[in-house]
A and B are shown apart, each in its own frame.
Chain A
Amino acid sequence: KNEVEQSPQNLTAQEGEFITINCSYSVGISALHWLQQHPGGGIVSLFMLSSGKKKHGRLIATINIQEKHSSLHITASHPRDSAVYICAATINRDDKIIFGKGTRLHILP
């Protein structure tokens, strides 16, 4: 079992829909990262959080430390949000980053 699990693996939605991507982890972490990767490979760091909630534009990330769970929400989704979203955790014991397998999001116009 991976130490960082994401769901769903693939998600297709209509433009305007509210999107939720989930990430759960099984180890102690010092930080949880949400990354976005567009076709072509470049990765953009969306959020880094260790508690609570962060918001940037239409993106919201939350983390529940007790439940070892984080969610990434996209409000009023748009076709340009289509990308792979990756959850990554910085592990307490050795500071390494472990990545989830990613969620492939496709927003239809």
Chain B
Amino acid sequence: KAGVTQTPRYLIKTRGQQVTLSCSPISGHRSVSWYQQTPGQGLQFLFEYFSETQRNKGNFPGRFSGRQFSNSRSEMNVSTLELGDSALYLCASSDLARGTGTEAFFGQGTRLTVV
């Protein structure tokens, strides 16, 4: 069974640009969660999608958005990038309806650098 796949692995963008990151969950998993990891703040929850609906959201500005497709693949988008958005973005998938209350399988992450 393939693991959680995130693309791209590395990305460099300039301030003001927008970026889209992709996450393909483990086959059969319907819950996808996104996290941001920075040296200063550690890992922080961004949002969770289940069956194409955003079920939970962390405390991030509206520039951070996401969506989930019918095949459970998820994308997150960050608009008007700021230097502080430079981080490792991780996604995780879970296979039970309760989503984040169950075991989560993490992807390798996308390292975004904003210059």
- Decide if B90 touches A43 in the complex (CB within 8 Å): yes
Contact pattern, A 17-46, Cβ under 8 Å of B = 1, otherwise 0: 000000000000011010100001111110
Contact of A35 among B102, B106, B107 (CB under 8 A): B106
- Decide if B106 touches A44 in the complex (CB within 8 Å): yes
Size of B's binding interface in residues, CB under 8 A? 27
- Decide if B102 touches A96 in the complex (CB within 8 Å): no
CA distance A96 to B33 in the complex (A): 10
- Decide if A95 touches B109 in the complex (CB within 8 Å): no
Asked if B44 is at the interface (CB within 8 A of a chain A CB), the reply is yes
- Decide if B99 touches A45 in the complex (CB within 8 Å): no
Contact of A48 among B56, B88, B90, B103 (CB under 8 A): B103
With A42-B106, A86-B43, A98-B45 given, name 7 new contacts (CB 8 A).
A31-B101, A41-B88, A42-B108, A45-B92, A94-B56, A100-B42, A102-B42
- Residues of A near any B CB (own CB < 8 A): 30-31, 33, 35, 40-45, 48, 86, 88, 90, 94-102
Task: Sample 14 A-B pairs with CB under 8 A, ordered by A number.
Answer: A31-B101, A35-B106, A41-B88, A41-B108, A41-B111, A42-B107, A42-B109, A43-B92, A45-B92, A88-B43, A95-B99, A96-B56, A97-B33, A97-B45
